[in-house]
Amino acid sequence: MSTEAMSARVGVLIAGLNGASANTMLAGSMGTNDVGARRLGSIIHGAGLGDHGLFADETSFVFGGWDVDGRTAADAATTHGILPVVDESTLERLGEIRPFPAYVGSLDTAEALQGGHTLSLGSAADAVAAVVENIQAFQSANAVDRCVVLYYASPLRRWQQATADLDETRLDELLHELRDVPSGLVYALAAIRANCAFGDLTPNITLEVPAILSAAERYGMPLAGRDLSTGETLLKLILGDMLRRRNLKLQGWYSANILGNADGRILSRPEHRSTKLEDKLSSLPKVLGYSDFDHVVDITYYPPRGDAKESWESVDFLGWLGLPMSMKINWQGRDSVLAAPLALDVVKHLDFALRHGERGLLGYVGAYFKRPLGCDQVPFHEALTNLRKYYLPYYLETPRDE
C-alpha cells in the first residue's frame, strides 16, 4: 500500500487556484525540500499518522485548476508575497501552471464577476460540461493516476433557491434553466461526474445539497468539508471544552477578526459572510452543551494586516459563587500558512479514500473543519481520536521499517 501511495501521481485541481491560500500551498509545497518544515501544521503528522506510508506525498501532487485571474501561478505568488522567499527554479515551475477560465455566477463576488478569465456560456449545465472537459484534459496531459478537486474560491452570497429537497433530477433541470447557480455546485457535480474526489474548504452550502450527496454515492466518490478550521474556531473548541470540564459558566465570547487579504475584504460584506458566521457561531454551543451566553463575532477588513490574520477575543466566564473572570486572547496567525498543510492533508485523506473505495462524506476527517459534515461536532481531541480510529486497521498492518 505504501508503495502504491508513494509512486502514484495525484492530480489536485483547485477552484480558486490563484487565491492567496491555494497559491501559497502550491508555492510552498513545490519549493521546499525541508521535510520537517513541510510537516509543521499538519494534523496527519500531529496525530502520528504520517510515518506509515498510508498517504501520497505532496511531492507527487500535480497542480492545476480554475481562476478568474488568468495569470500563471508564478505571477500570483509574486503578487501575494506571502512566503518570504520563493527561489528561481520554483518560480519557473509555477510559471508553467496557468488556470482554466472559471465559472462565475451571480452569487460570486463583485471582483469575480468582473474577472476577465471566465467561461462564457448559455447555461450552468454547459459550465458543468466544460469543467468535466477541463478535468479530463488535465488528466490526460499530466498522466495522473487519481484526481482530487478542491473548492477554494471566495465565500458566495446566499442562494435564494431552497435546496433541502434538491435531488439530482431537479438540479439538472435547474442547471439547464439557469445561467447562475452557486459555483460550488458546478465544480462539485463536475468533479464527481469526472470521477474525482471533492473537498469544500470554504463556508458554502454545496455539501448540504442532496443532489451532490446522491451523485457522490452513485459515482462512488468521497467528499469532505466544510470550511477549514485554521485558528480561531479551533481555539474556541479547545477553550470551550476546558470551561465545560471545569464547570466554569461561559457568560460571553466576543471576537474581533481583522484581515487584510481578499478573504477579509469579501467577508467584511454581510452578504458574503452569513454562512461563515453561522459556521463560526455553531461550534461553541455544541461543545459547551448550552447556549445561554452572548456570542459575537466581528470580521473587519483591515489592509495593514495583509495575509496575517489577527484576532482579539474576550472570554468572560463565571466561577465559584458566580464571580466573573475574563481571559483575553490576541491571536497573531498567518491565514494561508495555517491553511496550507491542512488543505494538503485533506487531499491526502480524499486520495486515500479514493484508493480504498470510500464514498460520500468522510465523517472521520471532522477535525479539519469549522463545520464538519458527516459527523457530530465534538471536542478537538475526540475528533482526532476518531481520525486515528479510522486509520487504525491500516497502520496496524503496516510493515515496520527494519
Contacts 24+ apart (CB under 8 A), 321-327: 322/249, 324/251, 325/248, 327/239
Contact window for its own copies (CB under 8 A) among 148-156, 209-217, 219-227, 243-251:
243-251
**Comparison of 98 and 349: residue with beta carbon closer to its own copies:** 349
Residue 281 as a binder of its own copies (CB under 8 A): the answer is: no
Please report, as residue ranges, which positions from 134 to 193 form the binding site for its own copies (by CB under 8 A): none
C-beta of residue 39 within 8 angstroms of C-beta of residue 50: yes
Q: Which of 204, 208, 89, 223 is nearest to 156 (CA)?
A: 204
- Rounded to the nearest angstrom, the gap between the alpha carbon of residue 391 and the centroid of all alpha carbons in its chain is 21
User: In the complex, what is the shortest distance from the CB of residue 294 to its own copies, in angstroms, rounded to a whole number?
Assistant: 5
- Nearest 5°: phi and psi at 153? -85, 180
156: burial class by Cβ within 10 Å (0-12, 13-18, 19+)?
buried
User: In the complex, what is the shortest distance from the CB of residue 124 to its own copies, in angstroms, rounded to a whole number?
Assistant: 35
Per-residue contact string for residues 19-58; x = within reach of its own copies by CB under 8 A: ---------x---x-x--xxxxxxx-xxx-----------
Contact window for its own copies (CB under 8 A) among 94-102, 172-180, 185-193, 253-261:
253-261
Give dist(CA 149, CA 219) in Å, integer: 15
C-beta of residue 17 within 8 angstroms of C-beta of residue 96: no
**Comparison of 120 and 330: residue with beta carbon closer to its own copies:** 330
User: In the complex, what is the shortest distance from the CB of residue 196 to its own copies, in angstroms, rounded to a whole number?
Assistant: 25
Give dist(CA 44, CA 39) in Å, integer: 9
Per CB under 8 A, the list member of 117, 146, 244, 265 interacting with its own copies is 244
C-beta of residue 138 within 8 angstroms of C-beta of residue 188: no
User: In the complex, what is the shortest distance from the CB of residue 102 to its own copies, in angstroms, rounded to a whole number?
Assistant: 26
**Comparison of 1 and 234: residue with beta carbon closer to its own copies:** 234
Instruction: Find the helix or strand (DSSP H, E) in which 63 lies.
Output: strand 61-67
User: In the complex, what is the shortest distance from the CB of residue 19 to its own copies, in angstroms, rounded to a whole number?
Assistant: 17
Residue 286 as a binder of its own copies (CB under 8 A): the answer is: no
Residue 247 as a binder of its own copies (CB under 8 A): the answer is: yes
Contacts of 353 (CB under 8 A, 6+ apart): 197, 222, 359, 362
Q: Which of 46, 22, 35, 73 is nearest to 335 (CA)?
A: 22
**Comparison of 180 and 271: residue with beta carbon closer to its own copies:** 271
199 three-state secondary structure: strand
Per-residue contact string for residues 197-236; x = within reach of its own copies by CB under 8 A: -------------------------------------xx-
| Interacting residues toward its own copies by CB under 8 A | 28, 32, 34, 37-43, 45-47, 83-84, 234-235, 238-239, 241-242, 244-249, 251-252, 254, 256, 258, 294, 296, 298, 300-305, 310, 312, 314, 316, 318-334, 337-338, 340-341, 379-381, 384
